[in-house]
A = this chain, B = another copy of it.
Amino acid sequence: MDNHQTPEFLFGTLSTREGRAKRARTLNLGFQHDAVLHPIDPRPNEPITITARAGIGVAVKTSMLCYTTDGTLPEANTAAMSASLICTPMQCTSIDWDTLAWAYVQTWSATIPGMAEGTLVRYIIVATTDSGELIACPYFDLEVPEIRAQPDAYDHSYLARQMRYGTPQVYEFYVDTLSTPAWLRNAIVYQIFAERFAPNPGETFVELSERAGFFGGTLKGIISKLDYLSALGITCLWLTPIFPSPSHHGYDPTDPFTIEPRLGTDADFRELVVAAHQRGIRLVLDFVVNHLSNAHPAFIAAQRNPTSPYRDWFFFRDYPDAYESFYDVPGQPLVNTNHPEVRQYFIDAACSWLKAGCDGFRLDHAHGASHAFWSAFRTAIRAVKPDSATFGEVTDTPAVIRSFAGRMDGCLDFYLLELVRGFFAFHSLTVSQFDRALQEHFAYFDSLLVLPSFLDNHDMNRFLWIVDGDTRRLRLAALCQFTLPGPPIVYYGTEVGLSQLQAVGRLEEARLPMRWDEQQDATLLAFYQRLIALRRQTSGVWSMPRETVLVDDSRGTYVYRCGAYFVALNNTDEANHITLATGQKAALLVVTEKAVTLRLDNQLDLPPFAGAVYQILSSENRHSGGW
């Protein structure tokens, strides 16, 4: 990732080698529980094993898992134990050596019996130390010499996140049989940056040099382009936040129950829902619970009145002026999503939108809220709309992303994003590295979470910009994106060649107004239409076991297959060809360039940066006839 003008900061602090070392070191600090269950998404009557790690700066002598199954809160105070609290001793089941921490790490575990469907399990993990202290997960002693000697060697933002919901943290999950709605698994998603997609019919975007200003996109504008989107073929629309907010992006809401007046009205929203659904397009709203705007009435009340009931909604360090906020931006105070009223507030807001016709939510900075919150959220919205779906934005390690299985239906596939940009844009991965990482990645996630794929979004340089506007390479990457398991997302404008004027410094550079009419790249658009049509017609195929057919690091060619469908990619600036087995009859389904041709002698010619999807036709396996 070192070979382009701007650093890729896809994972925030985890994008750098140093940041990754800090995180790795921090994982074996103190007494931690990562909210992962075994099995990760327990079904009724499955016993559930829960583990905690004791590492640097803690000497755990005994440990206890304390839980309730009747919805009451488990209390840490043993003197006030409720009748429904069940306490199970944990066992130290392994001691491992950690070279990075230069210490032993203990794993403690306990198993709770299988539960009936619908059971809410709430638990805390407590321990006694060698010195007789009672501690609870999460626990970190930052005063031990190892840490005091080099505090910067640890990931303090991770520590802060762990400790945000108090000690003991109450962890929660539901035992259920909820599964991911098929429509999300099969979706082709189009991400619209609400303020930048289309102005009211008959109007034009405001001309602005200030990228953070208001260009005039509206819900009515989006409605007017639904036929365009329908012709493109997408099946799901994800709108960035449309709730009242002081900013152009809306990720700092002041009221998640209504529509931002600049964008339109509640009536506009209902019209959008109906018009989209008429075209078979689902609507996903962008939902922020990690933080609110500091202009939100609850925050204003909390800050003005020391006895305000809203004060506990936020994390005041030094009331009223110092408080925890997102990326330390004062305008975005963090919210305590374990507070019962906060939880109800957001759930009520979400349910009101479901009732108004929305189909699900993209969950902004989802790892900022607790796992417990998302369990409650999912259970609540499913009760209102059984086929509603959620997918989270978790810009963290695959391990952390996977920990949200069972709490939401999917997570944006940030690791795939890194691989795809590395392979197709930066050429920092070889074919075999790319192939191997894909294999491992999909095996690691199995079918635990739907992993929507994307080449870029509103928080990073557009793909087309980092390949210097070379649409061949965009088409090639998209061909790959659309032939992997996760539902593909198209960031608005990508399909018509929308790019940037300069590198993302402030993020707004990747949020330029949509191109319409003659500004559009018609060739690219036609390609995307064909690609989307292919994906719709081969629904389910790309979730089948993926088999690597050809990996050629020296020639930069790559072929994989799912069933009878093959994908051939030439990721180099030299022409290549692929030899199909003699006797095989193949049909080209989608090509990235006209010059991709299948000769009679079964040679597939791939010009520079070109690719194709083809189908092997044989009497017993020609399921989709003519393309």
Contact = CB atoms under 8 A, between A and B. Distances in A.
A437 to B, nearest CB: 7
Nearest to A149: B2
B104 A441 contact: yes
A432 B99 contact: no
B397 A145 contact: no
B17 A104 contact: no
A548 interface: yes
A432 B104 contact: no
A429 B99 CA distance: 18
Interface in A51-96: 57-61, 95
Interface string A355-390: 000000000000000000000000000000000000
A443 B398 contact: no
Contacts of A104: 398, 437, 440-441, 444
A134 interface: no
B20 A131 contact: no
B551 A130 contact: yes
A129 B430 CA distance: 13
Given A17-B153, A95-B440, A149-B2, A432 B100 contact: no
Given A130-B548, A440-B106, A397 B95 contact: no
Most buried by B among A2, A23, A104: A104
A99 B428 contact: no
A449 B436 CA distance: 39
Contacts of A59: 432-433, 435-436, 551
Nearest to A23: B99
Interface string A413-430: 000000000000000111
Contacts of A435: 59, 130
B103 A553 contact: no
Please tell me the size bucket of the interface on A: 35 or more
A98 B429 CA distance: 18
Interface string A103-131: 11010000000000000000000000111
Given A103-B437, A437-B104, A95 B23 contact: no
A142 interface: no
Chain A contact residues: over half helix, strand or loop, or mixed? mixed
A278 interface: no
Contacts of A98: 24
Contacts of A20: 99-100, 102
A283 interface: no
Interface string A274-308: 00000000000000000000000000000000000
A155 to B, nearest CB: 10
A144 B430 contact: yes
Nearest to A99: B24
Contacts of A402: 97
Nearest to A418: B102
Nearest to A24: B100
Contact of A433 (B60, B144, B150, B551): B144
A27 interface: yes
A267 interface: no
Contacts of A441: 104
Interface in A429-482: 429-433, 435-437, 440-441, 443-444
B398 A97 contact: yes
Given A59-B433, A432-B130, A100 B443 contact: no
B131 A432 contact: yes
A23 B99 CA distance: 7
A97 B397 contact: yes
Contact of A131 (B397, B443, B552): B552
A430 to B, nearest CB: 7
Contacts of A440: 95, 104, 106
A121 to B, nearest CB: 26
Nearest to A396: B99
A21 B429 contact: no
Contacts of A443: 95
Interface in A307-323: none
Nearest to A435: B130
A103 B20 CA distance: 11
A587 interface: no
A399 interface: yes
Interface in A561-598: none
A523 B169 CA distance: 55
A9 to B, nearest CB: 14
A92 to B, nearest CB: 8
Contacts of A551: 59, 130-132
Nearest to A133: B432
Interface string A1-45: 010000000000010010011011001000000000000000000
A100 B100 contact: yes
Contacts of A548: 61, 130
B444 A150 contact: no
Contacts of A102: 14, 20
A330 B465 CA distance: 54
A129 B24 CA distance: 28
29 contacts: A2-B149, A14-B99, A17-B150, A17-B153, A24-B98, A24-B99, A24-B100, A58-B436, A59-B433, A59-B435, A59-B551, A60-B436, A61-B548, A97-B397, A97-B399, A97-B444, A99-B399, A100-B100, A104-B441, A104-B444, A106-B440, A129-B432, A130-B432, A130-B548, A131-B432, A131-B551, A144-B433, A145-B428, A145-B429
7 closest A-B pairs (Cβ-Cβ)? A59-B436, A104-B440, A24-B100, A97-B399, A59-B432, A130-B551, A24-B99
Interface of A: 2, 14, 17, 20-21, 23-24, 27, 57-61, 95, 97-100, 102-104, 106, 129-132, 144-145, 149-150, 153, 397-399, 402, 428-433, 435-437, 440-441, 443-444, 548, 551-553
